[in-house]
Amino acid sequence: MALIYAHRGLHVSERENTAGAFREAVALGVDGVELDVRRSVDGHLIVHHDAIIDGVAISEVAYADLPDYVPTFEEALEACRGISVNVEIKNFRHASEPSYDESGDFARHVLDDLYRFEWAASALISCFDVATCEMIRSLDPSVGVGWLLGWSVEPSGAMGRAKDSGFTGVHPYFQRVDESAVARARELNLELNVWTVNDPGDIEAMQALGVDSIITDDPATAMGQS
């Protein structure tokens, strides 16, 4: 059976990507949580999905000026104790992103904190930006690295590069995954972790295909607890 990851925590009654949502996911009994890491202008790692918050880019705001509900990376990890975390580094070139770190410092910061907080063994790092994934792999060959693929990307074609780069897996949009993609992943010994699967029929289909993990906004249904 595929592992079930709560996408941004369990956000039925809690705001997504908050310590409360992560604690609720742990209480539900999920295998892991997917969360999004960004960095404030004064160098704090924080957890939030969107680049803009209250009309201002997070990369241009000091941590103390962010809303109280925004957790630090450390607070988020502490709320996830007992399960695994899929840490998405929000670093890629796109019109919606006001900043991009090409130096590798952001990736190094995330990796350093995973070790500092004793989380490296229970974490998987992912990013849409292949250069960031490659930076993590160059810094630490032992940590799990999953290349996030855009919704239009056919996964089989990306798997060769993922394997050559030493990644442990690819994270495609679930509608791009079929039997041939699963077979190719198995051939290359790559994990196949699909996002964001919410419809019960789609969850069942992904389970039947044999993907490694399912990232979902409805982990209770995915776990058969609805």
Specify the pLDDT at position 190. Answer: 98
Q: How far apart are CA 120 and CA 107, in angstroms?
A: 13
Specify the pLDDT at position 226. Answer: 45
Task: Say if residues 3 and 214 touch (Cβ distance below 8 Å).
Answer: yes
Among the residues of the chain, which ranges form H helices?
19-28, 73-79, 105-116, 130-139, 155-164, 179-187, 200-209, 219-222
Q: Which residues of the chain have pLDDT under 70?
A: 225-226
Specify the pLDDT at position 194. Answer: 98
Is the overall model pTM greater than 0.95, yes or no? yes
Alpha-carbon Rg for the chain in angstroms: 17
Q: How far apart are CA 12 and CA 102, in angstroms?
A: 36
pLDDT tens readout for residues 125-181? 999 999 999 999 999 999 999 999 999 999 999 999 999 999 999 999 999 999 999
Q: What is the three-class DSSP state of 137?
A: helix
First to last CA, the chain: 17
The tokens describing 93, both together, are: 């070139």
Specify the pLDDT at position 225. Answer: 57
Q: How far apart are CA 142 and CA 44, in angstroms?
A: 25
One CATH from 2.60.40.10, 3.20.20.190, 3.20.190.10, 3.40.50.300 for 3-222: 3.20.20.190
Task: Compute φ and ψ for 199, nearest 5 degrees.
Answer: -70, 135
What are the residues whose beta carbons fall under 8 Å from the beta carbon of 30, sequence distance 6 or more? 4, 5, 6, 10, 83, 219, 223
What are the residues whose beta carbons fall under 8 Å from the beta carbon of 220, sequence distance 6 or more? 10, 12, 28, 226
Q: How far apart are CA 205 and CA 17, in angstroms?
A: 27
Q: How far apart are CA 157 and CA 150, in angstroms?
A: 13
